[in-house]
Structure 1
Amino acid sequence: MNRSSARRFYLVGFAVLMAFDTLAQLSFKMAGTQALPLSLSLQWLQRVFSQPWIYGALVGYAGAFFTWMHLLRRAPIGPAFAASHLEIVSVMLVSHWLFGEAIGLAQVAGAGLIVAGIVCLALSEPEAPTEAQPA
């Protein structure tokens, strides 16, 4: 895989991973909010599983798992692990938009540090050696 196609693979792959992770987190929040009040009973479980959001969460986690496994086949582990945490930033931004949650200076600084850390790890990663052809 040449450098241009590798970069495209990583950008698309991590965007898909972030979308699945964001879907899972937001769906759990919606399902949990609609399943209140909490009680350890059969009725509560029925209420949880009657919410379409719980299935969005399951789809999000399954999609994130398979996307992550596919990315790990090619991506360097350091930047890949760091980039997998971009959903923290996306969930914060989408939660602000959907739920009106406040974003303070601490959250902005934290998001900036997450992105800066990913950029630093990506820039420090040496060029991947070309794969050896099987004999």
Structure 2
Amino acid sequence: MKKLYFYAIGFAILIAFDTLTQVSIKLASGQAGAFSMSMDWLLVVLHNPWLYAAVLGYLGAFFAWMTLLKHAPVGPAFAASHLGLIPVLLISATYFGEKLTTMQLLGAVSIMVGIVFLSLSEAKHPHD
């Protein structure tokens, strides 16, 4: 049971950092404007706090992922790492007004179902 809490908290942290990264990149790129090979554009990007939030998200996700890989089976862990796509999808639809399609919803459900099947398989045949 202790392991289950570790995985749940660990993957929640990983998903939070992944979501922070993706949303921050979207916000930073929106505020930076069109790419321009100029010092002015670069200064705008470097003064954007969302750029640093994205870097923080990448670093947090990296350390969360490395910690999880020490303890979790690779197959289910890799699949579960894709759960981060679901909150990004929901935030994109609600906050950025992007259209949520049937295929995206089916993809999100497929990710969740796949993780459940991998977890059940791992529970029946642990590799410890």
Name the residue aligned to 2:115: 118
Larger radius of gyration: 1
Match of 1:81 among 78, 84, 101: 78
Looking at structure 2, the residues matched to 111 and 40 of structure 1 have their Cα atoms a distance apart, in angstroms, of 37
- The aligned length equals 126
Secondary structure of the 1:25 match is helix
TM-score (norm 1): 0.90
Question: Residues 3-29 of structure 1, C-alpha deviation per residue, up to 9 Å, x if partnerless?
Answer: x00011001100100000000000000
Q: Are positions 1:72 and 2:90 aligned together?
A: no
Higher helix share: 2
Match of 1:53 among 50, 55, 75: 50
Q: CA RMSD in A?
A: 1.0
Percent identity, aligned pairs only?
Answer: 51
Looking at structure 2, the residues matched to 65 and 50 of structure 1 have their Cα atoms a distance apart, in angstroms, of 24
Which segment is superposed worse, 20-29 or 89-98? 89-98
How far 1:128 moved relative to its partner? 5.1
Name the residue aligned to 1:103: 100
Equivalent position amino acid for 1:59 in 2:
L
How far 1:120 moved relative to its partner? 0.9
Question: Residues 95-122 of structure 1, C-alpha deviation per residue, up to 9 Å, x if partnerless?
Answer: 1121111111111101011111111111
Equivalent position amino acid for 2:30 in 1:
T
Looking at structure 2, the residues matched to 45 and 14 of structure 1 have their Cα atoms a distance apart, in angstroms, of 34
Looking at structure 2, the residues matched to 73 and 34 of structure 1 have their Cα atoms a distance apart, in angstroms, of 38
TM-score (norm 2): 0.94
How far 1:76 moved relative to its partner? 0.2
How far 1:69 moved relative to its partner? 0.5
Question: Residues 64-112 of structure 1, C-alpha deviation per residue, up to 9 Å, x if partnerless?
Answer: 0000000000000000001111111110011112111111111110101
How far 1:55 moved relative to its partner? 0.6
Q: Are positions 1:94 and 2:91 aligned together?
A: yes
Q: Are positions 1:19 and 2:19 aligned together?
A: no
Q: Give ranges in structure 2 of 5+ residues lacking alignment.
A: none
Name the residue aligned to 1:127: 126
